[in-house]
Amino acid sequence: MSDAQSTWHLAGGRALTLAGGAEARRLSVACGRVWLTLSGTIDAPAEDRWLAAGEAVALAPGQTAVLEGWPAAEFELLVPPASAATRATPRRRWFGRR
């Protein structure tokens, strides 16, 4: 994963929905504990699970995740390096670089 990431704080009792992205991502819990619900597919049902500090889960392209901090949590949403480089390409063209 790259430094194209964000650290988020999730207060206790608050839920947050991460919409499905166009690319794979990795959700990593930095502090606390998270109750996580992952969207399912025709072949695999939705999944509920606990993630504690230091644990991570891969999010497939298009997969939605609902998180709730128990009691509160901090997490990072990481993007693969190839995806981060792809997003930087239009800026390079805009500024006339290679």
In a domain? residue 34: yes
Give residue 81's pLDDT.
77
Q: Is 96 helix (H, G, I), strand (E, B) or coil?
A: coil
Structural domain includes residue 95: no
CA distance 93 to 40: 38
| 74 within a domain of the structure (yes/no) | yes
Return the pLDDT at 17.
96
Place of tokens 């390409």: 89
Cβ count within 10 A of residue 63 = 19
Percentage of the chain lying above the pLDDT 90 cut? 59
Distance (Å, whole) CA 95 – CA 47: 44
Vertex 24 angle, CA 50 and 59, to 5°:
15
**64 lies in a domain?**
yes
Residue 91 lies in a domain: no
**Cα separation values, 1 from 5, 61, 77, 90, Å:** 9, 15, 10, 21
Q: How many separate domains does the chain show?
A: 1
- The domain of 51 spans 5-81
pLDDT in tens, 8-60: 999 998 999 999 989 999 999 999 999 999 998 888 889 999 999 999 999 99
69 in any annotated domain: yes
Asked whether residue 61 is domain-assigned, the answer is: yes
Tell whether 86 is covered by a domain.
no
Please choose, from the candidates 95, 40, 98, 33, the residue with its C-alpha nearest in 3D space to the C-alpha of residue 67: 33
At 25, which CATH number? 2.60.120.10
